[in-house]
Amino acid sequence: MSRLAHFATLCISAAVACSFDALAQGHETGGACWSAVELAGKPGEKAIHRETYDPAIEPRNEVAQLAPVAPALRGSIRSVKLPPGEKLVALTFDLCENAWEVSGYDAPIIDTLRKSGVKATFFASGKWLMDHSERAQQLMADPLFEVGAHSWTHRNFRLLPPDEMRRDLALNLHADDHLRRKLSGRSCYRPGPGPVDASRPLVFRFPFGTCNTEALDAVNDAGLLAIQWDIPTGDPAPTQSAEAIAKSAAAAKPGSIIVMHANGRGHHTAEALPRMIEELRKRGFGFATVSELIAKGEPVIKDSCYELKPGDNVKYDKLFPLDRAHNAAPPPVAGSKHAPAPTGWGADVKSTAPATTHPAAPITADRP
């Protein structure tokens, strides 16, 4: 590791350590904001519903400008090289939401993580945060969890010009800041002094896991680490069984980052998760948030985003051509001339209005 990379990692380690202490102090009082009944899942929460985009949901609060990411940590982080003897993995769950829908909240996943005492990182779209305000604050208040950013409405950053990337990212950060401020204002919540993790996101995941040089620069310039993965589970595909999702973790090595979904598009993830956790623990693995993982080792960084090998996610550019303009229209209905994406994007969406009422929903924020 270069001297610069070592210094940057030390800075992250210090910030995260401070955060853990503060969050530990606030665990009981933060959790007291919700009873066990309120934290438990509710019928229908996992369902995804179509809706007409309403620009009024866009947050308008000011967000402090963060320092750009240090050169040694810029790029797409796929995993972390840990010191000998450290055997940790990071479970990550995307909470995506498109402009034309309200996606779900998969409570059994969160219940399993809490019951098992397993740390995890959630990457939440800004619109998901706004549409699931209470659930989002519950995740932010829980010291087991880290909540990162995932764009405003899951637009493909590789297809967007730099100014649109920055506007989309700004809305995501505005939504995150709005809820963290709301959480910190609750009389029942006492996170303690200097909670870096609790005051802002440290990490970002690109929608569809796609990026280019301009997208990486936009995210890193905003002060966020760009987090990819080295183990995809394929859980958005309705045909991906719980057994296959659980078995995907067999490829885990110390420092691995595993990607799943907790927004209603992880079709069998809740069923697979207990088995995955059990098997990883049998192999001697512990669990960390992504920021913890990075603080403990040297990130494996690439200059592009991909699933298993460079170029293998180009399909998303073709499957979602409307992303070139605004990424607001829903995908084709199953059985139509153009089938939904084989990965499960757009599948199982329940319509609450005629498809013709879903207009393009360009970002309307007047500040980058």
What is the per-residue pLDDT across 75-127, written as a single tens digit (0 to 9) for each? 999 999 999 999 999 999 999 999 999 999 999 999 999 999 999 999 999 99
Of the pLDDT bands very low, low, confident and very high (cuts 50, 70, 90), residue 44 is: very high
Query: Which tokens sit at 326?
Result: 């605004």
Compute how many other C-beta atoms are within 10 angstroms of the C-beta atom of residue 307: 20
Confidence of residue 198 (pLDDT cuts 50, 70, 90): low
Give tens-digit pLDDT for 151-175.
Answer: 999 999 999 988 999 999 999 999 9
In angstroms, the CA 163 to CA 222 distance is 13
The pair phi, psi for residue 313, each rounded to 5°, is -115, 20
Which of the 8 DSSP states describes residue 118? Answer: -
- Mean pLDDT (the chain) is 82
pLDDT at residue 144 tops 90: yes
Q: Smallest Cα–Cα separation from 96: which of 212, 214, 206?
A: 206
End-to-end CA distance of the chain: 35
Q: Pick the closest to residue 334 from 315, 317, 347 (CA basis).
A: 347
Query: 67: buried, middle or exposed (CB in 10 Å: 19+, 13-18, 0-12)?
Result: exposed
pLDDT digits (tens, 9 = 90+) for 278-324: 999 999 999 999 999 999 999 999 999 999 999 999 988 888 764 44
Put simply, whether the predicted model's pTM sits higher than 0.75 gets the answer yes
Q: Indicate the range of 129-133, 162-166, 221-225 predicted with least confidence.
A: 162-166
CB 80 within 8 A of CB 294: yes
- The identity of residue 243, as a single letter, is E
